[in-house]
Structure 1
Amino acid sequence: MSAPYLVQDQLDQLRRRVDGAVTAPGDPEYDEARTVWNAMIDRRPSAVVRAADVDDVVSTIAVARDHGLDLAIRAGGHNVAGNGTVDDGIVLDLGAMNGVTVDPDTATVRVEGGATLADVDAATEPYGLAVPLGVVSATGVGGLTLGGGVGWLTRPHGLTADNLLSVEIVTADGERLTAGPAEHADLFWALRGGGGNFGVVTAFNFRADPHGPEVFSGNLVYGQDRWPEAWAALERWTRDLPDELTMITTTLTPPPAMEMGSDPLLVVGFVWASPDRAAGEAVVGRLREAAPPDVEQVGDNRWVEWQSVLDGLVPKGVRAYWRNASFDRLDAEVIDVLTRRGREQTWVGTAFDVHHLGGAFGRVPEHATAFPNRSARFWINMYGFWDDAAVDDERVAFVRGLSGDMDRFATGGQYLNFQGHEASGHRAIDPRTVFGPVKYERLVQVKRRYDPGNLFHVNHNIPPG
């Protein structure tokens, strides 16, 4: 049985009720409106509503709920699993609601639900402030935050979600709520890592931290013959790092635009989140001494430029498939997997990042938020980014193969924002294994309270029962 879809009178009703643009099949803008970042996701909604304000959000939710229609919520549209679109139902696109307001006196930032990382960074930079965000500037703040939010400031300041003060949200019954530590605290807990299961967040209120506009950052680059040495040095180096240093280590075959040759490389990227540059130099110098890089790109970089340096690698319209895992070991067995699999990546089109965690991220009590694993020392994001549909199977197979190799080292949990879609016949993500039994049951209780009919199910879903 096919899913319900909008008939003409329902579409007319929707257009009467919202001030924003409503695009439907046959409209000139339809194909552009329905397209999401991952080109492997090709769905045809009955309507795409580009909300102009919160009233439009309430009205769109009401139409979807009253007519039993599938409802997909889109912020930046950068979700690899394609949860920002749906066949036959309604897409609620928050992209036009992208305002960012900074209060420099209180170091707080109000971010509307459709804003991107670039929107926030552009607004906070003039005040010497930053909200901890992700690593690609086109990413939507909404999806990033609701899944947790790992990026270049995770060790000094925690996840994006850890810096939330409150959220403004519309629930399945159309009620407008503010959720924070003192009101709707159960909902506020669930929204910090539990994904888009509980409502449409129309605004996030963050605390910001002093940062930039320039930061000491860079890359240490290693050729294949140096990888075992570099990984062993990273194991020792990361045992005693100050919170100010965040490291993301990438293994990839660089695209031509990077002008770094055509062989796979190990790139140790870092950001030093402190004005004490000499101290940062000393910390990086310990790694440089233990494993001298083949190439070095280190210096003072403008923060907003550093935050967007990876944008060209994964532009809208690439084909993408991702998996992830947490792990604690960087011993010879793990290093063998990382080096072997990295050397097999002889094409432009797959890569993997190892995020070093701990610091402020690890000091948040495990059950303070819904995020699945605070004790993890490392998190690996295994991902594909390619253009040619003819190589889908082999690129996806590589990511799955590496994921299978890392499974035996995994320490539990899945990061929703690093989890791709699964084609028919493959095991979908199980929320019980993502969050563990205690957090999962608590999330179910929150879901029952705020979305008992599971209106918000076009996501990594937590059913209400």
Structure 2
Amino acid sequence: MDIETTAGTTFSRSSEAKALATRISGELIAPGDAAYDTARAVWNGMIDRRPALIVRPKDAADVVATVNFARGAGRPVSIKGGGHNVAGHATCNDGIMIDMSLMRGVEVDPEACVACVQGGATWGDVDRATQEFGLATPGGLISDTGVAGLTLAGGIGWLRSRHGLAADNVRAFHLVTAAGERVTASADSHPDLYWALRGGGGNFGVVVEFEFALHPCGPTVMFAAPIYPLSAGSGPIRFWRDFLADKQDRIGSLCEFSTIPQSEDFPERYWGQRCYTLAAMWAGDPDEGERVMQPLRELGELAADFSGQMAYCELQSLFDTLMPAGAFRCYWKSHYLPELPDELIDIALTNAIEAPSDNTLSSLWNMGAGTMAVPPEATAIDRRGMAWMYSLDSVWEGAENDTANLAFTRKAWEGSRRFSTEGRLYLNFAGGSDEGSGLVQEAYGDSYGRLSRVKAHYDPDNRFRFNANIEPAAT
């Protein structure tokens, strides 16, 4: 699976590493250092790569110095925010890994409803800071996910129904390009780059700060989480799909397939059974949300029901313990969908039954009115009619189980491909680093040509290629 390599040898502590150390005020970690193995690790336990050097910049000047050094040394650059990307793009073999974890500051202007977020921040950092003022911006579903990686590929969170994707809410990106230049990309400055960064991934530079628009939210929200055994069949899911039809501007929701653990939170008779959760957050008054979403909790016998009003920050960290960093091997794929037909619901149920690992998740996501309302030309995500998404999130233990789980995921993905929106998919859930350029081109569709030209302007040598890579257009 992890076949990504680049030519080269590791740096010597006596030469290149020392030269770089004199140029930065942050930390530098080299092979053989005590912190090296911890620093190079990412969330997916399947990824095992060895960067030539790891730099933890303290500020944007350190990022500039590191990018300039890498260019002079002929080394590619990978960028680690939270390290959550399933394909492991944060790390690399033989290149320079920029670990942004020392740059996690968040400054909130509650009057302007703007948050300035450094490139190494996690969504937990953002939510804690913004919720002090009853504000939020669409983020992920796990609090230790990095802001940068999630946002640059689109960014799907609970607030998407009301306010769109994370990328839709970025007013400006402050980044360091492959030439070592500090650039601000916004609607009024470098507009082509601004367009590309909203969905184009980490192809164009190192984002050192994001400016996010904020919206009233919380501190208390209503979250519905009824859990039905898979034996309940497709009826509750079809009801859920139809129930959302006139509420997509207020409810961010997904149907998540999983396995019931051996836990006192569940009746013992359900332990080990496959199930699905109709998870939904109401973007508005929590009392109204509890009343409106009550029918989702009355569709048959429940294995459990974790619905209730809770703090927004609590909701944002609710799934953190499902998959701790480094504990599992993961391979995820997805399809954007124009609709959710009965046939695909049945296929999703069958796939949930046949998944070889009890740790595997899969989900049917309602993308919400806020996501679909953005004009297709506004961002690099060129198909805003993707009303739904189907994700296959295979999770397992042990390298000896790789073949079975990879084969299952790929077969299930291919089997549902005909329902997709012209081959579009969520590039944070695209598979592995060996998927090939064809998948990336298909995922971007009509946007790919323009993205390739922007790439050629800001990174003509493809220095930033550890991502869902966009190849620079020929000049």
- Shorter-chain TM-score: which interval? over 0.9
1:178-202 deviation digits (Å, cap 9, x = unpaired): 1100010110000000000001100
| Cα separation, 1, equivalents of 2:402 and 2:265 | 25
The superposition leaves residues 315-370 of structure 1 with CA deviations (integer Å, 9 ceiling, x where unpaired) of: 11021100000123333321220111112237422110111013111010111101
Q: Residues 219, 398 of structure 1: CA spacing in aligned structure 2 closer, same or farther, 3 A cutoff? A: same
CA distance in 1: counterparts of 2:173 and 2:425, whole angstroms: 24
CA distance, structure 2, for counterparts of residue 401 and residue 175 of structure 1: 44
- The count of aligned residue pairs is 461
**1: CA distance between counterparts of 2:99 and 2:264?**
33
Task: Please tell me whether residue 336 in structure 1 is matched to residue 342 in structure 2.
Answer: no
Equivalent residue in structure 2 for 1:402, among 407, 412, 416: 412
Q: Deviations over 1:245-269 (max 9, x none)?
A: 1111100113445844210001010
Matched, 1:271 2:281: yes
Moved more, 414-423 or 357-366: 414-423
Matches within 5 A, 1:365-384: 365-384=375-394
Question: How far is the alpha carbon of 1:232 from its aligned partner?
Answer: 1.8
CA contact 1:253–1:345 (8 Å) conserved in 2: no
- The yes-or-no answer on 1:419 pairing with 2:419 is no
Deviation at 1:420, TM superposition (A): 2.6
Contact 2:237-2:255 at 8 Å conserved across structures: no
Residues 300-322 of structure 1, C-alpha deviations (whole Å, 9 max, x = no match): 11111111111111111021100
Counterpart secondary structure, 1:408 = helix
CA contact (8 A) 2:357 2:405 kept: no
Q: Distance in 1 between matches of 2:6 and 2:141?
A: 38
Q: CA deviation at 1:288?
A: 4.0
2:107 is paired with a residue of what secondary structure? strand
Distance 1:312 1:256, change over 3 A: farther
CA distance in 2, matches of 1:64, 1:255: 47
User: Aligned residue for 1:319?
Assistant: 329
Distance 1:302 1:358 in 2: 22
Q: CA deviation at 1:292?
A: 6.7
Are residue 350 (structure 1) and residue 360 (structure 2) matched?
yes
Unaligned runs of 5+ residues in structure 2 are: none
Shift of 1:282: 3.7
Partners of 1:264 and 1:346 within 8 A in 2: no
Deviating more after overlay: 229-238 vs 149-158: 229-238
C-alpha deviations, 1:107-161, integer Å up to 9, x for none? 1100000000111011111111111101011100001110010011101110001
Structure 1, 269-278 or 337-346: larger mean CA deviation: 337-346
Change (3 A) 1:116 1:60: same
Deviation (angstroms), 1:7: 3.5
Q: Which residue of 283, 296, 305 corresponds with 2:305?
A: 296
Partner of 1:212: 218
Cα deviation 1:30-58 (Å, max 9, x = unaligned): 11111111111101111100111111100
Q: TM-score, normalised by structure 2?
A: 0.93
Q: CA deviation at 1:234?
A: 2.0
| Cα 1:27–1:102 shift into 2, 3 Å | same
The answer on 1:92 being equivalent to 2:98 is yes
Q: Report if aligned partners of 2:175, 2:184 keep a CA contact under 8 Å in 1.
A: yes
Q: Indicate yes or no: 2:7 matched with 1:3.
A: yes
Question: Over aligned residues, Cα RMSD in angstroms?
Answer: 1.8
Helix, strand or coil: the match of 1:225? helix
Q: Tell me how far 1:85 sits from its aligned partner.
A: 0.6
Once structures 1 and 2 are overlaid, which stretch shifts more, 103-112 or 367-376?
Answer: 367-376
Change (3 A) 1:47 1:276: closer
Runs (5+) with no aligned partner, structure 1: none
* Other structure's SS at 1:399 match: helix
The 1:348–1:290 alpha-carbon spacing in structure 2 relative to 1, beyond 3 Å, is closer
Name the CA distance, whole Å, in 1 between partners of 2:471 and 2:433: 18
Question: Which residue type is aligned with residue 447 of structure 1?
Answer: K
Equivalent position to 1:442, from 440, 444, 450? 450
CA distance in 1, matches of 2:468, 2:116: 26
Worse-superposed segment, 175-184 or 332-341? 332-341
Match of 2:440 in 1: 431
State how far apart, in whole Å, the 1-side matches of 2:68 and 2:305 are: 55
TM-score after normalising by structure 1:
0.95
More deviation, 335-344/195-204? 335-344
CA contact (8 A) 1:3 1:70 kept: no
Could you tell which deviates more after superposition, 229-238 or 196-205? 229-238
What secondary structure, in the 3-state scheme, does the structure 2 residue paired with 1:235 have?
A: helix
Percent identical pairs in the alignment equals 39
C-alpha contact (below 8 Å) 2:108/2:115 kept by paired residues: yes
Deviates more, 1:145-154 or 1:367-376: 367-376
Secondary structure of the corresponding residue to residue 223 of structure 2: strand
Among candidates 463, 466, 471, match of residue 463 of structure 1: 471
Look up the match of 1:307: 316
Q: Distance in 1 between matches of 2:351 and 2:248?
A: 30
Q: What aligned pairs does 1:7-406 form with structure 2 within 5 A after superposition?
A: 7-8=11-12, 9-256=15-262, 259-260=265-266, 261-275=271-285, 277-278=287-288, 280-288=289-297, 293-317=302-326, 318-345=328-355, 347-406=357-416
Gap change, CA 1:37 and 1:428, over 3 Å in 2: farther
**Worse overlay, 341-350 or 130-139:** 341-350
